Structure 1
Amino acid sequence: MSSIRLACLMCALLALSALLSAAPARAGDDPIFSDSFELPFNFPANDGEAVRFLNQTTFGAVPADISTVRSQGVSGWLNAQLALPTTTVSRPWMEAYAASLTLNNAISQDVRVHRWFSVAVTAPDQVRQRVAWALSQIVVASDRDDFLSNEPIQMAEWNDIIVRNALGNYRQLLQDVSYSPMMGRYLTTLRNRKFELNRPGANGCPAGTNYCAGNNGVQPDENYAREVMQLFSIGLVVRGEDFYTTYPDAQNPGTLRSTYTETDISELARVFTGLAHQCTQGDSSVGGVTLSRNCGANNTSCTGIGCRFSNTAGLFGASPPRDPLNRGLVHPDWYKPMVCYPRYNDNGRDTSAGVLETDSGSFGLPPGTPAPDKVLTLGTAAGVDSTLTIPPSFLDGSPLNCHATGSTLNAAQQQACVDYCEGGVNAALDLLFNHPNTPVMVARQLIQRLVTSNPSPQYVSRVAAAFINNGSNVRGDMKAVVRAIFLDGEARRPSSDPLQPQDFGKVREPMLKLVAIWRHFGAVSGDPANFPNTNPQGGAANPLAGQPSLRRWGPTNPQNEYQMRPYGAPSVFNFFEPDYRQPGLVSERGLFSPELQIIHEVTSVAAANDLYARICSGYGGTNSNCQEGRLTGGPTNPAPPDANNNPPLDRAYFPIAQVNLIPARVAVNSTQADPTVAEDLALIEFFNTRMMGGSMSGSVPPNAVCPSTGTGMKGLLMNAIRCTGGLNQTLNGAENGTTGGDRVQRQRRKALLLMHLIAISPEYSTQR
């Protein structure tokens, strides 16, 4: 089968090239919405159109949703989804799982990956989960980073930050991300310190006329300041309301007008200083396990913001405790929002509370000394800069020395210093959130991740308008943005409609093909275990006692086969870039093809082979090769739904009852006729609807005979099913349909193998 699969894959890649060559340049889009209140295409004309909608809005269409969408309409179904509560978040589940382990048996990122797959396949709030995955590729933190690779609990909380905000407000997402210690570790704002300027004769600086740089002259780290602008909000160049419109820079002929400069990065980096882990005094229960922390100096208790002044150095550089039993649990302060330690925040003053000096005529300043004010000047399409100025700290008109520690400052002064630090962060985030570029940047990338790689300017404008105003003068409402994306006329126009551009749609992300196939056909995890009623090491009862425990889906390292890993992008620039253009026809036509940055001959073969193993999981022993047509890959006495068989326990599989629903037919024995053309065509149409939303090309004549079995993909599949050759014999249960198990087992094999053949085809690989 390996050579057959490889040959089919190469044919698929050639077909993909042909498909691209046939696509004309995208024409301007005509308006779809009329002046009536009726939503165009609200009620899908058939099951295929319902599947197409569900493949955009979820991780993959399932039968129950198909009928609901057809009866309630796409708008009704979507509104119901947007009202669902958030599926049990990952971090509390991870903590409960870690607490259920024994001494020195620590959780790893593998557990988090299993959990992500389980939620993606089974969660009822599919729209939230799918949008969260799209957002996670815009606002990126990754377990591939050295600081986070061994932090599964923290990465689970990062997952939850994105999921909680997926249908919230984008401004809150920026807030939560900026204060997240996971982002702080990833882009190095955690313990980011201001540039310190010491007056002559103070803090070890020699007397005289020369000022000295404290902290070895270290400047604030600029990583997060750069990426929060470039990737999470305004982008690199000034854009119009349709994203595609750009503007020349009058000061630099031949270049585009930029949104920010290197100076702006440095100024914004000064704002993101002084942030570190908060300290929660006393006991914290984590998964039923007690972890304690003392926030005071010299092992004395301390509460309130006064701790950040009386134990400044101890807390700013301290790491919260971990589980002494080495099960992977961490104190909540590891993942709670960071707080500001004013001693290390740039408040526009030197270490003695004087305004930062800038007059170098009468005294010497060390290199890198900033100005007193922090000033951000961001370019806009209107040519009127969007500006923020943060002056030095004051309280009631008097200079505020936030560099002070101990009891130097009273409670009001301490609070004012904290307010100054947090106020600067909030003001900077407000500036980015309200910048004209942010709506179009978010709109275009979300459309790319969910619907089409090349949205028209009008499509982007309409979604950006929903970001700007949800209809109630609220900016950044993600529910309004999601509605605008999925209910837009361009998204809902049937793919067969002559007005639909041939380049509409997107290449499926390789890993999401696996998730979609699991959902299409009801895959389940083979692991039936539940959480124990008590924790093995004592303590409080497990908070998830009796609920499903680890559900093993696999693969735990999907980046090896699919070049993707849940919350494991190789860099802050995601798995692939939104502006990537595949060399050749795609680039020549001025189109974007982000996913093709990680899809080529080698990765396609690896993904195709892994899909084969996942689809055939359990049906053919530990080799997962579909050769048995019955579950033989697990131990004896498994739990339902296949108690009389042997499903695998370490990975997902398709229950027998689900596979039996696929209308595959084989000959009863060698003396009886093969399935009819109508029966095999019904099988192809079943997959066409359930997997591809009815978009499969071609047709099959009712009297098809080999080798003339029809046109397009349907004709090719019919030829593979019916005509002489190894593929025909394999799909139908070996030569003459007489070997390789009984008839029912051979029908299952035919169903699974055809499922795989379609899964690696170019037409399924393109979500229309």
Structure 2
Amino acid sequence: MIQANQYHQQLKNISQVLLNSGMGKLPAMTKTNGQPVKLDEQPDLMVHFLRRCSYGFSTAELTFAQSIGLDAYLEYQLAPEEMNTDALENLLNQVFSSLQMSYAEIIARSRTDNDFNPAFELIAATLIRAAYNPSQLFEIMVEFWSNHFNVNIFDGPIQVFKGVDDRDNVRPNALGNFRDLLHANAKSPAMLYYLDGFSNTADGPNENYARELMELHTLGVNGGYSEDDVKEVARCFTGWTLSEQADELFVFYAPNHDTGSKTVLGQFIPAGGGIEDGEAVLDILASHPSTAAFIAKKLCQRFISDTPPQAVIDAVAATFVQTDGDIKAILRTLFTHAEFATSAGQKFKRPIEYVLSIFRSLSPLSTGRSFEFIYRQVRNLGQTPFSYPAPTGYSDESSSWLNTNALLDRWNLGFAIGFGDLGLGRNVDDDNTAGSGPLAADFLSIPVLTMLGSARTAAAITDRMVEQVLHHSINQNDRDALIKLAADGEPVTVPLSLDQAMASARAVLAVLLASRYFQQR
């Protein structure tokens, strides 16, 4: 292990590399405006696709993807039902009993067992699936739709409701049809509680769900609806409520429904209706061109850039309309569009993506505490799944995550992983001070020796670590700075001893994990 004085000197050297080279600055998001991105470190298309459509990838995954080609790999990722994930799911079901429970079982257990925590079990299962599931694009889309139809899992009974919603509504429809997803979400007890739909009656209409349904779930804030439409939609959903006597908790209680005629977005809904009034609204919204445009823009922001060109938004929206919201077809249009191919460097990893990409890219050896690492750091960096307090969900725009404190936390985490002997960032469970708590190596054992291979000179060590971590080249100035760091005062062409080479490899690894190269996706 590096001695204290050597370690502090290494930190100083690493900080200087990050600052002087610009690798640690706030990542500058390049914009295409229809033109190819011209970057020295532009990754090839397969690397670019994997960075956008997974939570990180190893050399082995890249090799497999390259062996079958991009088109085939996209179809492979769009067919999660053909991947054998039985071992993972069986393990999760054994460890987290709530994943298989009905609403009634979860409610009963929650009332009698103080140690039963279905909210934490869902959060844990979500992070573990994202870390280990080979169907990475599917997990990305599950997270996208969970965030799109956001509910705060710690808001009262939602901690009991959300697990079944995730299992029965979001995951089955994440690569299915938007209309089906919208209908399932409207009847979800988690959403009915979160946006007060369960209390919406003819005598006391509640407009919360009606407003968010149009503003956040379908049309968008500028999607062409009026305040009158909000009121009319709220009337259509009166009587949609919850009852423990129902297997799925959702019930339509006719005495609370407004049976008068309504007009929504210019479409007349006759008097005397029941549950079909709300279902008609969902169909109207699912087929509306503003919904196609709004969902298309969100998907393009997720996978292309914070400000995607209108041409790709229009193409994705057109597929949405033509296929009646077929999510797989929509994604095919997006990923095969020229704007996607030229969008490298335009997205910034959010905390979940950053932490999981460390785990998935470096193929750590098992310590039995890998999940604890993932959970601690995602929580520390501010993106615990299902925990955003507002209906908007976590932002996908870099401006929400790019600030000095957040980048400092990432630097510290990169150093911790690189050297394995730092306190693992801030101790979120105790006094919240830097350097306290267990060591990084207690959580993740990074196979630095394997990553290093036979490289012994500063240049070879740098190139080997860049290849293993980034899978693409970096610009020459940054490479030179890393080679100088790896040499640690020795001539760059002189082979280092194994101990020296390992120390240099760890220093380069720390810089790369903290750099803009790794933080961009």
RMSD: 3.6
Question: 3-state DSSP class of the match of 2:452?
Answer: coil
% same residue: 21
Q: Distance in 1 between matches of 2:503 and 2:217?
A: 46
Question: Equivalent residue for 1:522?
Answer: 363
Deviation for aligned residue 1:337: 5.9
CA separation of 1:494/1:603 partners in 2, compared to 1, >3 Å: closer, same or farther? closer
CA separation of 1:659/1:560 partners in 2, compared to 1, >3 Å: closer, same or farther? same
Cα contact 1:375–1:388 (8 A) shared by 2? yes
Deviation for aligned residue 1:488: 1.8
Q: In structure 2, which of residues 80, 90, 97 is the aligned counterpart of residue 84 of structure 1?
A: 80
CA separation of 1:15/1:192 partners in 2, compared to 1, >3 Å: closer, same or farther? same
Greater radius of gyration (CA): 1
Question: Equivalent residue for 2:511?
Answer: 757
Q: Distance in 1 between matches of 2:161 and 2:296?
A: 28
Deviation for aligned residue 1:270: 1.3
Cα contact 1:60–1:515 (8 A) shared by 2? yes
Pair 1:456 & 2:325 matched: no
Q: In structure 2, which of residues 197, 221, 226 is the aligned counterpart of residue 261 of structure 1?
A: 226
Question: Equivalent residue for 1:107?
Answer: 117
Amino acid of the residue matched to residue 561 of structure 1? N
Question: 3-state DSSP class of the match of 1:276?
Answer: strand
Deviation for aligned residue 1:388: 2.3
Q: In structure 2, which of residues 323, 327, 332 is the aligned counterpart of residue 478 of structure 1?
A: 327
Amino acid of the residue matched to residue 715 of structure 1? D
Question: Equivalent residue for 2:216?
Answer: 231
Note the 1:190-209 alignment, pairs <5 A.
190-195=198-203
Q: In structure 1, which of residues 143, 165, 169 is the aligned counterpart of residue 153 of structure 2?
A: 143
CA separation of 1:695/1:237 partners in 2, compared to 1, >3 Å: closer, same or farther? farther
Q: In structure 1, which of residues 62, 68, 79 is the aligned counterpart of residue 64 of structure 2?
A: 68
Q: In structure 2, which of residues 338, 344, 365 is the aligned counterpart of residue 489 of structure 1?
A: 338
Q: Distance in 2 between matches of 1:482 and 1:66?
A: 20
Deviation for aligned residue 1:223: 1.2
CA separation of 1:737/1:77 partners in 2, compared to 1, >3 Å: closer, same or farther? closer
Amino acid of the residue matched to residue 335 of structure 2? F
Q: In structure 2, which of residues 251, 260, 271 is the aligned counterpart of residue 339 of structure 1?
A: 251
Question: Equivalent residue for 2:479?
Answer: 714
Q: Count matched residues.
A: 477
Q: Distance in 2 between matches of 1:12 and 1:183?
A: 48
Question: Equivalent residue for 1:183?
Answer: 191
Cα contact 1:6–1:605 (8 A) shared by 2? no
Q: Looking at secondary structure, tell me which structure has more helix per residue.
A: 2
- Ranges in structure 1 where 5+ consecutive residues have no aligned partner: 31-45, 196-218, 239-258, 280-294, 296-314, 316-332, 349-372, 378-386, 394-419, 496-503, 529-550, 579-593, 626-632, 635-645, 667-674, 699-710, 730-735
Cα contact 2:151–2:389 (8 A) shared by 1? no
Q: In structure 1, which of residues 654, 658, 672 is the aligned counterpart of residue 445 of structure 2?
A: 654
CA separation of 1:341/1:93 partners in 2, compared to 1, >3 Å: closer, same or farther? farther
Pair 1:155 & 2:155 matched: no
Q: Distance in 2 between matches of 1:721 and 1:748?
A: 10
Question: Equivalent residue for 1:249?
Answer: none
Cα contact 1:439–1:468 (8 A) shared by 2? yes
Q: In structure 2, which of residues 390, 393, 409 is the aligned counterpart of residue 571 of structure 1?
A: 390
Q: Distance in 2 between matches of 1:159 and 1:755?
A: 36
Amino acid of the residue matched to residue 714 of structure 1? R
Cα contact 2:18–2:25 (8 A) shared by 1? no
Deviation for aligned residue 1:14: 8.2
Q: Distance in 2 between matches of 1:682 and 1:559?
A: 29
CA separation of 1:763/1:458 partners in 2, compared to 1, >3 Å: closer, same or farther? same
Q: Distance in 2 between matches of 1:126 and 1:156?
A: 20
The CA deviation string for residues 40-99 of structure 1, in whole angstroms up to 9 with x for no partner, is: xxxxxx995422221111111223321222221111111122222285497896325899
Query: What is the TM-score with the length of structure 1 in the denominator?
Result: 0.56
Q: Distance in 2 between matches of 1:718 and 1:227?
A: 53
Q: In structure 1, which of residues 360, 375, 380 is the aligned counterpart of residue 263 of structure 2?
A: 375
CA separation of 1:61/1:759 partners in 2, compared to 1, >3 Å: closer, same or farther? same
Pick which of 431-440 and 603-612 moved more: 603-612
- Ranges in structure 2 where 5+ consecutive residues have no aligned partner: 1-6, 37-41, 102-108, 426-437
Deviation for aligned residue 1:665: 6.8
Pair 1:446 & 2:320 matched: no
Note the 1:553-632 alignment, pairs <5 A.
553-556=372-375, 558=377, 560-576=379-395, 594-613=397-416, 619-620=420-421, 623=423
CA separation of 1:574/1:390 partners in 2, compared to 1, >3 Å: closer, same or farther? same
Q: Distance in 1 between matches of 2:162 and 2:414?
A: 26
Deviation for aligned residue 1:747: 4.9
Amino acid of the residue matched to residue 346 of structure 1? D
The CA deviation string for residues 522-565 of structure 1, in whole angstroms up to 9 with x for no partner, is: 1366439xxxxxxxxxxxxxxxxxxxxxx733454556532211
Pair 1:436 & 2:289 matched: yes
Deviation for aligned residue 1:442: 0.9
